[in-house]
Each structure stands twice: as structure tokens, then as C-alpha cells.
Amino acid sequence: MHEHVISEVLAMDPSINSVTISGWVRAFRSNRFIQMNDGSTLNNLQCVVDFESFDQEILKEINVGAAIKVTGPLVASQGQGQAVEVQVQQIDILGTADPEEVKLTILSPKRHSLETLREQAHLRVRTNTFGAVMRLRSKLAFAVHEYFQKNGFNYMHTPIITASDAEGAGEMFRVSNLSAENPPKKENQAVDFSKDFFGKETHLTVSGQLEAETYAMGLSKVYTFGPTFRAENSNTSRHLAEFWMIEPEVAFNDLHDNMDLAEDFIKYVVRYALEHCQDDLNFLEKRLIEEDKSKPQNQRSPMPLKEKLAFILENNFMRVSYTEAIDILKNSKPNKKKKFKYPIDEWGADLQSEHERYLVEKHFECPVILYDYPAKIKAFYMRLNDDGKTVRAMDVLFPGIGEIVGGSQREERYQVLKDKMEAMDIDPKELHWYLDLRKFGTCVHSGFGLGFERLVQFVTGMGNIRDVIPYPRTPGNANF
């Protein structure tokens, strides 16, 4: 017999024909009402048991967390809270759950903290909050692909193991199969990586950008969407050591086209979530309103979740040069009153999250795109402006999280790029293929990177990035 999922059943009209559903017990009241959920929707299905016609032994097994299968007609519900319910004619216990143990884990009715749930990662997705977050994550990932596919981009898979450091920051995980205790050594006692699996030192990728540029030079419009890794010791609510990144790269696009693309893309995926994830967003919005009640006024969300998302769609992102931003920050109240952890003294300072959030949340009160950053604080591949001191970089800043997108027009001039690499101690021989790209029909091209988890964090309103990825990897933590 065809089994239904709960999201389908809740949309059906009452019928004398039986339906069969499998799922997990969320609650069992008065030996009569089972609340059942299978993860297809936030909403539970009520299943009504006539306890006199069932064996006591079976009823005893219907505990919170147990997996069951029920069959019976779908009838109009008399009670509050649901339109239809199942009149159970047959019930199978597929997997039991010990009620004593359930009390100690995440399935107990007591509201657990998100931290506790991270220690129960194999069960946390059965809670309403994580079910909602992970369904949204899935829908957002689909929207990312849909946007680029509709707009003529080619999806490419860039390597996960690489010998190049795209960011030049050196925060990379080494990949090796040399003996950890006794690696082969050269005469000067340095480790001899020529004996390693790939014949040289390799790492997990920090970005697929350099490889994506080569493909943009043949396919014009490409994007990546894959895992990236940073061995940065940042224990914050917005950093992960393993995260997913979306990186479009477009030939013939300059910095302004790049900003347009970033804004259009973000609006598309946010709109997709608003249109396709109503139940989950309503639940997360209520959750945030409850959470805010226990916070001091100045830490509360300025607007409810769905309003915040609609606000992104209704406002043009404000485009502001780095130089203008520094002036605003230098003269701002928190800077003058020494409230910033990192005071802004002069042009050339690297902006911190507190500065980005001040610009977005206090000064402009809308998303901001900063551009034309000092060359000194940006990566080697960004195109040098005519002033010789700034590069054609752009960052998109959002309320609550700061930077959500970082991108630039790439340096397309062979000699300028070579000089910059040498000045920054990047060996042109290691990246000869990247440099050579500028010798064979070079052209203006641009792209950006968007950390997918930061997008999910923004759309779900979750305060910590560890709560929007199924199994977070952070310094000191690779559990499960």
C-alpha cells in the first residue's frame, strides 16, 4: 500500500480510504492522541487511538521518540489545532524509545539550550527548531542552483585538495599520507614532500575562485557551490572550519556588474525562502520573539524575522566607498566615545564586524556594499585602481552578521599581477597557470564568494553559525 508523508496528508480532504504513515512519536496524551512527525513538515499529524481495541502491550511502546507506522481513514478533526486526523485502525511499532532515556536527551518537552543540542547532534534534527532550519537550508541550496541555472551559469566542481592558497592567508589544513611519526626528510632536515602522495605539499581548499576564473575564461559564466576549509583559530558565532561556499565568476563583468549580480542573487534566494517556507519561517520568527524577551532592549532584533527578510527585498543595497565609510566611522559616536573594541584612527584600517554592523544597523539602516578597499588589506588577485592604493573589491554587509559576500574585479593585466604576487611573496611559479591566463586573451572579469552558512543564518535568524550546519567543525570540535 502506498505510504504518504505527513505534509501531503495534512493537505488532503477527509476520506473513507485508509492512509498509511510512518514517523516518530512527538507526544501521546490520555492513551488516545498521538502527535506524529516525519520531518516533511513542521506540523504534526494527530492520530486517534481507540485504546480499548488495542493490546495494552502495544500502547505501552508508544513513547516519545518511538518510530511507528499507522493506518486508518483520514477524518475531519473535532479538536482544536488541526483540520484532519487519522482514526487509527492498525499500528506497528517500528522502533522503541526508552522513556527514561528520552527524558535525558533532546526529545523531552523541557526546552533544551542549543548548546546541549549540539552534543546530541544525531538527534537534534528531530526538534522543531532544527527541523525548520535544515528544511530551510535545503530549500535555499536549491534556490542557489535555480538562480544560476536560470541565468545561464555553468555549475563547476573545483578541487577540494589543492596546492595553491587562494587567499594568501596561510590558514590551511595540510593533506598528507606521510608518516606522522617519521616523515621522510631532506638533507637539511625539512620534511621531503616530494615523497608525499601528490609529490608536493597539498592542502584542503580555502576557495575555488582561482580555478573558477580559468573556467570563466572559457565558459563566460560559471559558479561553484562546495565545501571550503579554514584552519583559522576563530571561536566565534560566525566562523566554521568547514563551510560551504558559493562562488560565481563572470568574464566581461566589471565591479559594478559584480555588485548588481550579488544583490540580484541574494534577493532571489531570500524571496524563494519567503515564498516556499512559510511554516518554518513563522515558527522561527515566534522562537526569536520569545528569545528576545529575555534580552536587554539594545540586543533585541529591530524587526521580526519575516519583516527583516522582506526589508532586504524592498531596499536597494547602499553602495559606499571604503573612504566614505572610514569618514563615517571616524566621526561616529561610538568611535569618539571609545566604544569600539577596535577604534578607527586612520584610512587603511581593516574593518571589523562591529564597524560593518554599525554602518548597516545604525548609520544607513539597510544592506551596504562597500567598495574600493586599500590594496594592503586585500588579496593579491584584486584589480589595482588608477590611484595605485585601492583595489576594485566589494563586500556586501548585512544586519546581524556583517559581511555576507566578499568579491572583486580580478587583476587581468599580466605584469601588474606578476608584480603584485612578487611584492606579496607569492611564488609566480606555483601559480604559473593563473598568471598565464592573463597572456591568452585576457579580459575584465569579476566574481564573489558567499558563505552559505551565513546566508542560512540570516534567513533563519539563528544566532550561532554552528546551528545552521548539520555537524559543525570548529576549533577543538570534530564530534560525530
Q: What is the CATH number of the domain that holds 383?
A: 3.30.930.10
- How many Å apart are CA 138 and CA 133, to the nearest integer? 9
Contact indicator for 420, 380 with CB cutoff of 8 Å = yes
Q: What is the pLDDT of residue 235?
A: 81
Residue-level pLDDT, tens digit, the chain, 480 residues: 689 999 999 999 999 899 999 999 999 999 999 999 999 999 999 999 999 999 999 999 999 999 999 999 999 998 888 899 999 999 999 999 998 888 777 666 566 688 888 888 888 999 999 999 999 999 999 999 999 999 999 999 999 999 877 666 668 999 999 999 999 999 999 999 999 999 999 999 999 999 999 999 999 999 999 999 999 888 888 889 999 999 999 999 999 999 999 999 999 999 999 999 999 999 999 999 998 898 888 788 888 999 999 999 999 999 999 999 999 999 999 999 999 999 999 999 999 999 999 999 999 999 999 999 999 999 999 999 999 999 999 999 998 888 999 999 999 999 999 999 999 988 888 899 999 999 999 999 999 999 999 999 999 999 999 999 999 999 999 988
Q: Final residue of a domain: which of 104, 137, 158?
A: 104
Q: What is the pLDDT of residue 117?
A: 85
Q: Write the CA distances from 419 to 158, 342, 384, 428, 435, integer angstroms.
A: 27, 32, 11, 9, 11
What's the alpha-carbon Rg for the chain, to the nearest Å? 27
Q: What is the pLDDT of residue 234?
A: 82
- How many Å apart are CA 303 and CA 308, to the nearest integer? 6
Contact indicator for 245, 447 with CB cutoff of 8 Å = no
Q: Final residue of a domain: which of 89, 104, 119?
A: 104
Q: What is the pLDDT of residue 194?
A: 94
Q: Are residues 156 and 65 in the same domain?
A: no
Q: Are residues 360 and 460 in the same domain?
A: yes
Q: Are residues 280 and 224 in the same domain?
A: yes
Q: What is the CATH number of the domain that holds 80?
A: 2.40.50.140
**pTM, full prediction:** 0.94
DSSP output for 112-155: PPHHHHHTTTTTGGGSHHHHHHHHHHHHHHHHHHHHHHHTTPEE
Q: What is the pLDDT of residue 81?
A: 82
Nearest to 272 by CA among 138, 398, 150, 143: 143
Could you tell me if residue 157 is inside a domain?
yes
Total count of domains within the chain: 2
Q: Are residues 163 and 98 in the same domain?
A: no
Q: Are residues 96 and 141 in the same domain?
A: no
Nearest to 340 by CA among 323, 358, 324: 358
Q: Are residues 163 and 48 in the same domain?
A: no
Q: What is the pLDDT of residue 168?
A: 64
Q: What is the pLDDT of residue 236?
A: 82
Name, in order, each residue with C-beta under 8 angstroms of 408's C-beta and a sequence gap of 6 or more.
Answer: 255, 258, 378, 379, 381, 382, 383, 391, 392, 393, 394, 446, 447, 448
Q: What is the pLDDT of residue 170?
A: 67
**Strand 154-155 relative to strand 445-451: parallel, antiparallel, unpaired?**
unpaired
Q: What is the pLDDT of residue 277?
A: 98
The whole domain housing 411 covers: 128-171+206-467
Could you tell me if residue 472 is inside a domain?
no
